A and B are shown apart, each in its own frame.
Chain A
Amino acid sequence: MNIEWYIVLSSLLFAVGAMGILVRRSPIVILLCLELMLNAGNLALVAFSRMVGNQEGQVFAIVVMVVAACEVVIGLGLIVAIFRRKLPLDVDELRELRG
């Protein structure tokens, strides 16, 4: 298969994720979209790795997954904390840090 397809798919996934972050207001969905973007990156990494023919891209993809897992833990922890304080689960409402 040609590399272009992988790149196109990866770009589409990335765009979907970025769009989701921009338009959705629920923190859970934003986290999902972030995950989507990271994995779009992973897909590109793995595809390039196959194309070049060495394993470095795949190793890097696994590192990204670990980072993504950590990020999800922190993100979900934040969401649970927000929920426990009975704050609205809406990133537009949570804007105390404005200048």
Chain B
Amino acid sequence: MSATAWAWLVLLLPLLGSIVIALGFRVLPAKAAGAVGTAAIGLAFACGVAALIGLLGEHPEARHHASSLWDYASAAGLDIELGIYLDPLSAFMVLVVTGVSALIHLYSFGYMASDEGYHRFFSYLNFFVFSMLLLVLAGNFVLLIVGWAFVGFASYALISFWYRRTTATRAGMKAFVINVVGDIGLVLAAFLIFRELGTFDYEAVFAKAPEVFNVNEWTVTAICLLLLVGAFAKSAQLPLHTWLPDAMEGPTPVSSLIHAATMVTAGVYLIARTHVLFDLAPTAADIAAFTGLATLLVAGTIAIAMTDLKRAIAYSTMSQIGYMVMGVSIGAFSAGMFHLMTHAFFKALLFMAAGSIIAAMANRQDIDRMSGFWKAMRFTSLMLLIGGLALAAFPFTSGFFSKDSILDYAIARGGMYAWMAVGGYVGAFLTALYTFRLIFRVLPGVPCPEAQELIETGHLHHGEPINPANEELEDPDVGFPGPEHHIAERSWPMAVAMSVLAFGALFAGLIQVPGVDDVLFAWLDPVFADSELSHIHPSVGAEWRGLGIGGVISLLGIATAYLLWVRRPELPARFRERLRPIYLLAVNKWYFDEAIDFLVVRPALAIGRFADRTFERLVVDGLVSGTEDVVGGGGRIVRAVQSGFVRSYALLLIVGFAGLALYFLLSSS
């Protein structure tokens, strides 16, 4: 079988899984949905590997194939095919998406076991993977938009999965609306591309673009900025990021899969995929890079102040995606993709470990209540520690190599990009600080009551189901995360999934060690060979110098966290007092929600109110009732003729006829 045939199978399997689970949930035995869903994604991963092997057998320059099943629409110069485009970049994304998804399905198999919506969950989850693969494999912009929108819907469905939670449904709507803003950007970009180039097909667009556009021409800049709107909304970059922290209302595997490992990286993929256009619009690329930098710093400061375990990790996700966006925007395409992969491993792992701890806390997420889990849950704690080390770029973990490969590139490119690298190192310090703040507050110390209960009785704490967001009592009918909770120590699927990811988080960086091996970049670089920027390579010495700086900063961050939250736990409170404005800024998430509320939501509401109260009442109602008055008044006047007196009718008749007769007589003579 050819590589593209395998790629079609990759697309087909999750779709089939989703349909089978959705239609067959009444006839399937109780746990079959999880098995079917996990198997579908596992097989898709296997097919992805087969496609990879197929591509590996070819010459590096020839590793790109377009394949089309049928024409969607073919009229008036418009030719949209249901086509996929397989090249090293999409194959890489397919492997990351299916690989991490398969593990998260496995984790959900255990984690969601007691949930009433078990089938629904796996059906949605498979649908999400299908959408994401469609987005990644699409061979033209139309199919990309389809996948893009499907992913947004799947995200909405899964955030609002526990639909009796008002906070969850509201968060789902918020995510959907902001994603639609991004969709609009993407659609408008596609329109512009079609207007200028007359095609939607990737290969044709990227071949024509350099001939048609001049560098920094306004059209190509507009296209790129619109693409960025889509990318920023999906990848939670400033200022369209506010949906991501709220998306933590969904079940933890969802946070892990969609809002950490895969969906939010779609924007990074989009920028890398359309790098030909961004090369022609350096201004737009610089805007993207600065946004990425700003996001990584802002999100890093917020993560330090968050007390909600999952939200803190969500802000960390934003921050890490900021690195990726910065990387692919300044030209470090392969490095950005490398960080995408390692981030998928360690962030999925962190969320899984957090889910396990949250389950032990009977769904509480507040880190102020957590402590001493090292004694209660050794395996989960170890996983959290591994994920944290990789995230904090501890030397020789995966995050260490991937993050620094982006920053080294920035330094090698020089100029203002070198200053961006400095910002990136500040972000790296913040990353280490907030990561180990979480770890030092959750793992060591005197066990909290829930952890103590687990140690002494071996039972999980069984609290009233309470919504951690607003302290409301939950409605357990829809299986609020299930009548019982599951932790990694008691559930082998969860433990297996986490172990595999932990292996990846620790060692995935070793495939791309400067001066030692060059697996990933050798694989991806042909895709970006047409870009001038991809030929800038930092020297091996510079890379190791960068790695050294990164390692020192990481250790410094961890040491600072140790000092602040273990050795001198009274210090953070004093800092909060001293630096109250900064603390308030961070804990209120830099007032982005309020700003958007003030700048967008309120004006929109005001317009709506004006339309409802003023425009509707005066103009629309005026038109309607004005017409009614005219017709009614006319009727009232004419009605007087209809007196009911037969003799008056007769008189009218006779006078009328006489008049007519007179008229004809006069006109004939």
Contacts and interface: CB of A to CB of B under 8 A. Distances in A.
Interface of A: 18, 21-23, 25, 30, 91-92, 94-99
Given A21-B654, A99-B643, 18 more contacts: A18-B654, A21-B650, A22-B650, A22-B651, A22-B654, A23-B647, A30-B646, A91-B645, A94-B644, A94-B646, A95-B643, A96-B644, A97-B644, A98-B644, A98-B645, A99-B638, A99-B639, A99-B641
30 contacts: A18-B654, A21-B647, A21-B650, A22-B647, A22-B650, A22-B651, A22-B654, A23-B647, A25-B647, A30-B646, A91-B646, A92-B646, A92-B647, A94-B644, A95-B643, A95-B645, A95-B646, A96-B644, A97-B642, A97-B644, A98-B642, A98-B643, A98-B644, A98-B645, A99-B638, A99-B639, A99-B640, A99-B642, A99-B643, A99-B644
A21 B657 CA distance: 15
Interface in B608-653: 638-647, 650-651
Contacts of A30: 646
A25 B650 CA distance: 12
A22 B650 CA distance: 7
Contacts of B650: 21-22
A9 B641 CA distance: 34
Contacts, number: 37
A95 B647 CA distance: 11
Contacts of B641: 99
A49 B646 CA distance: 34
Contacts of A98: 642-645
A21 B640 CA distance: 22
A75 to B, nearest CB: 12
Contact of B644 (A18, A23, A95): A95
Contacts of A91: 645-647
Contacts of A92: 645-647
A22 B642 CA distance: 17
Most chain B beta carbons < 10 A, residue from A23, A30, A96, A99:
A99
Contacts of B639: 99
A98 B641 CA distance: 9
A59 B492 CA distance: 110
Contacts of B646: 30, 91-92, 94-95
Nearest to B641: A99
Interface in B307-335: none
A32 B638 CA distance: 31
Contacts of A25: 647
Nearest to A27: B646
